[in-house]
Amino acid sequence: MRIQPRQQLLESWRAVARTSLQKGTWVWEGRRQRNSISDAEQLLCLMGPATEVPTFKLDQPNETAEDVERALEVLGDSVEVPQRLVQVIQEYLTTYIDEDGRPTFGGGGYFTSVDGAQEPTEEQRSLDVVDSFAISIRLTLAIIGFAKVFRRVLTRQQLRDDVRRIEELASQRLTGAMIGLMRSFTVYVLDPDSPEGGNLLQMINQSRLSRSRIRQDFQAGVEEIRAGLRDVTFGLGEVPDLDNDNKVFECGWSWGITKGAPRVDTNAEGILQPAGYALAAPYAYFTAVALDCMQHLFSERTRLLGLLDDEQQRLARALQIRYDLTLSYWSTIARFGDDRWPLENVPWMTVDGSQSDYLSLLVSSMVVLDMSVNRVENESDPVRIGQVLEELAERSRITRRPISDDDPAVALHLPGFPFQLDGSEEVGGPMLSWELADFSTQLLKQTLRVAGLVNRVDQRNEMTNLVDEVWEHITRRRIEQGPAAGLWDQPSAIYPALPPSDEAPSWYYSERVISCLVAAANLIDSPPLRSPVLINHATQLLAEADHIYDQELLRISADAGPSMREALKSAGASLRRAHDVIRTRPGTAGALAAQVLVDLDRLSAARRDASGAR
């Protein structure tokens, strides 16, 4: 890949540090009014790589890499940087709490009104939103892990107390976010003869089956999922008509706490459980966001560092059930039938009749996540997803130029794909809207994941070529001048018909780019693909090298010189190394075997020359 994640992460960190710390003061402002999501995105620009890429860790000052320290020199040296982070983290965690110290999860400036004429009220801006729950889970897990490790190297009691304090505050916020996700989960039961039920069946019916047949196939395909959902009552309550096999349904996350959502029974203290207003129906975006964040709850890092307390582990088990069922549902629906997948029929259509390439990308992300956490049964499935992503890259004018200045596809990038938040008007004020303007970063992230799923070198090359094209698009959108130079986002640099964006950084977009760089770093750090052809070739080379090596050992005379004995010793070491790595790095094993064959041939020639001279 042309993308160089380490270098790009260092450049991004340098820009984040320079933009965030001005005249010794941490500056939170971005393009939107401060809120719990934007501030978390700004922190994750640093905390994400620091906790997910080992060579970028900041919690052990003596082990901080030199280039990392140079990139963050605006914040201080390797000792001062984590201390400053502790201060900034504490400021964040004590900002988004109510008067009783309970965490809040309002969407703030990310809420806009549908008509654009009326501003959201303050009460509406304070409504809990799944985006805040999700990013809080990612951020607090990063903070708790950072604090646990950093505290071990501290000797000053005041610093140890400060670190323990942010760990406690982060844990409290984590619990609140997990409970919020519990109360935002929903199952939406539909009559198949209703317009919404009809849209669902139409979307999955790619084989043009009769209406009765597609209903039967749907029931059979989701039978186990329906059975599992019947047992999900913790934080959800009873779902009417779910037992009725004549009904169809969707499951996932609404935009916020659903209307009528019951309180979650918990032993945790200091957790606010406000009334819900969100329509009890899943939104593709918030479902994808919730699923993506929850994998951090179940990760190996979370288990090894013991980041969850007993109550959080109980909540995590309940969320795991929802996670598994929802992943299974959307993966089943997206790949329904024996012929063309519904997902391959771009654009995706939701039950309310909305259609967009962005919806196809969101559903793709859920299928890719399912393939990542569960075993891929059919090797062609990741390839088919990759082809969908390639088509979306073209349709969104990332790998193809716009048809005209008013090409509607450009609107996916700015202002983005909007959707209304049903129920938000019930607190008084206009109907609220949520805009998604991260199509390119979402596409890059899913392409990187698919590249890690394919098993053939040529297939991975196709995906990494797409990665390079999307990355080139993203780099051109970087801010070139002003205080936020080096960060994002300036889409008018690619689409001149768009108005220039504010010079302030978009933490929304910048954090997503940095998250993609982390994913790229992890892909590069994974073992290389093992080609069966290469393994066979290396095995044959190694067999010949072993045989000739044994022959040389047999023929060597007792009075052989030290140079010949040293050459044979080196050849033996290379052969042992080749045997050790042949299954994981067959190309390396083959190269070692080939070099041994060359060296042994030289020995043989030297021995023949010596024999002829005598």
Per-residue pLDDT of 343-383, as tens digits, reads 999 999 999 999 999 999 999 999 999 999 987 778 899 99
Q: What is the pTM for the complete model shown?
A: 0.92
Q: Which of 480, 474, 481 is nearest to 514 (CA)?
A: 474
Q: Is residue 566 within a helix (H) or strand (E), and if so which, with residue range?
A: helix 562-581
Is the pLDDT at 283 greater than 90? The verdict is yes
Single-letter amino acid, residue 580: D
Single-letter amino acid, residue 93: L
What's the pLDDT at 531? 79
Share of the chain above pLDDT 90, in %: 84
Residues 368 and 327: their CA atoms lie apart, in Å, by: 10
Side-chain-side CA neighbours of residue 397 (13 Å): 17
Residues 287 and 130: their CA atoms lie apart, in Å, by: 9
For the record, the structure tokens of 94 come out as 């004590």
DSSP per position, 463-505: HHHHHHHHHHHHHHTB--SSTTTTSB--GGGT-TTSPPPPSS-
Per-residue pLDDT of 70-111, as tens digits, reads 999 999 999 999 999 999 999 999 999 999 999 999 999 999
128 DSSP β-pair partners? 106
* Contacts of 152 by beta carbon, 8 Å cutoff, 6+ apart: none
Per-residue pLDDT of 185-200, as tens digits, reads 999 999 999 999 999 9
Share of the chain above pLDDT 70, in %: 98
pLDDT band at 612, cuts 50/70/90?
Answer: low
Residues 416 and 161: their CA atoms lie apart, in Å, by: 44
What's the pLDDT at 611? 65
Residues 307 and 140: their CA atoms lie apart, in Å, by: 9
pLDDT band at 1, cuts 50/70/90?
Answer: confident
Neighbours of 118 (CB within 10 A): 11
Is the pLDDT at 402 greater than 60? The verdict is yes
Q: What is the mean pLDDT of the chain?
A: 94
Per-residue pLDDT of 203-250, as tens digits, reads 999 988 999 999 999 999 999 999 999 888 776 777 888 989 899 999
Per-residue pLDDT of 487-533, as tens digits, reads 999 999 999 999 988 889 999 999 999 999 999 999 999 888 877 88
Residue ranges and CATH numbers for the domains of the chain are 5-525 (1.50.10), 532-613 (no CATH)
Omega of the bond prior to 496 within 30 degrees of 0, cis? no
Omega of the bond prior to 347 within 30 degrees of 0, cis? yes
For the record, the structure tokens of 553 come out as 């050992």
DSSP per position, 411-477: GGTTT-EEEEETTGGGGSSSPEEEEE--HHHHHHHHHHHHHHH--SHHHHHHHHHHHHHHHHHHHHT
Residues 167 and 291: their CA atoms lie apart, in Å, by: 24
Average pLDDT over residues 567-581: 93
Average pLDDT over residues 4-26: 96
What's the pLDDT at 239? 81
Residues 390 and 393: their CA atoms lie apart, in Å, by: 5
Single-letter amino acid, residue 514: I
